[in-house]
Amino acid sequence: MQQYFQNVAAKVTKERYLEMCNALGNAPIEEEIPISFEDFPQFLQQILQIYFMLPSQLVGMEGTFVGKDLSILPFLIDTYKLPYKLLTVEIIQMCSNIQANHLYEQRKQKQKAKESQKKPNDLVRVGG
């Protein structure tokens, strides 16, 4: 599941991978083929669809993602007639944690990149 979310964030799809292999004249390697939405079982596809429908909760000036707003989850579970209610909630929480961790790591990398681009301040001699 984590790999799927990383692929979604990086916009890496199975089709794109296969196109790159074809363009380079390489045979696709089964273990490297990105997971696509269609690879998941039907019940998990439904849960992911619900996950993506839920509004994100953002905090702070930078809009830090802290998870999904679950207030409409019971309505969506009933509407889509999902039989595994507890499993649905657990998978949605897992997806939310994966997304939050991924976004946190991205933010840390951007911050490190910014800091490495800063030039050290010139030393100023005080006194004399």
Spatial separation of the C-alpha atoms in residues 5 and 78, rounded to whole Å:
25
pLDDT for res 115: 84
**Domain ranges in the chain?**
1-39, 40-105
pLDDT for res 116: 83
Spatial separation of the C-alpha atoms in residues 55 and 40, rounded to whole Å:
23
Spatial separation of the C-alpha atoms in residues 106 and 65, rounded to whole Å:
12
Percent residues over pLDDT 70 in the chain: 91
pTM: 0.76
Spatial separation of the C-alpha atoms in residues 119 and 42, rounded to whole Å:
52
